[in-house]
Amino acid sequence: MGLYSSYIFPRLLDWSLGNAMIQRQRGEALAPLHGHVLEIGFGTGLNLPYYPPHVTRLTAIDSEAMLPGRVADRIARAQVPVAQLQLDAGGRLPFEDEAFDGVVTTFTLCSIADVASALAEIGRVLKPEGDYVFLEHGRSDDTRVAKRQDFFNPIQKLIGRGCNMNRPIDKLVDAAGLRITKLDRYMMPDTPRMLGEMYRGIAKKGDARDDAVQK
């Protein structure tokens, strides 16, 4: 890995995703969780302070080990016990079916190369009554913006180390057989439109769909 990938990118990521506005959104997104939770794409552990007290255990996976010292400090300060594993979420996960009360991804579905497999695995390891909670950026519903996202996506993938800005998050979740019960669509303030189209929601196994879509 070059200097950008190994040194600059992790710090840039930690800084850009760690600002106060995004941290508030993490708290809102994670609030419904309880019990044993799986976080996919743990990154630098920025979600840790925002897990509600009824989360009793966290299993955190990522295909990389970014800023290990900083992450170890965050885990040591966390209110919840954390088991951290380096794993590719695009393959079969080493967990039993229906092992987790909740699964979380934040700013991660954009980066997983085999996102369809990862979402299928989320459905497999989630308990029937469990919540899959997501806070993701993705494709715009405005076709002009979506066209720009498609055009600039190859550059974004280079700068963002595999991050796609044009993925239709709700459609991908649906296609994996998960049923979205809550979806907030909004723009991240002070962010270029191509990167700031947000999807915050909850999905479950089963087919109840509550069209509580807020735009």
Ligand X SMILES: C[S@@+](CC[C@H](N)C(=O)[O-])C[C@H]1O[C@@H](n2cnc3c(N)ncnc32)[C@H](O)[C@@H]1O
Binding site for ligand X (CB under 6 A): 13, 17, 40-41, 43, 46, 61-64, 66, 88-90, 106-108, 111-113
Least distance from C-beta 16 to ligand X, angstroms?
9
Query: Which residue, 145 or 195, is less far from ligand X as judged by CB?
Result: 195
Residue 50 vs 178, nearer CB to ligand X = 50
Number of neighbours of residue 203 by Cβ within 10 angstroms: 27
Query: Closest distance between ligand X and the C-beta of residue 84, in Å?
Result: 12
Contact, 68 vs 97, CB < 8 A?
no
d(CA 70, CA 87): 19
- Distance of closest approach, residue 113 Cβ to ligand X, in angstroms: 6
Tell me the residue number closest to ligand X, measured at CB. 43
- Give exposure, 23-57, as e/b (b: 16+ Cβ within 10 Å): eebbeebbeebeebbbbbbbbbbbbbebbeeebee
Nearer to ligand X, 172 or 208 (CB): 172
Minimum CB separation of residue 56 from ligand X in Å reads 21
- Closest Cα partner for 101 from 29, 37, 27? 37
Q: Which is nearer to ligand X, 101 or 136 (CB)?
A: 136
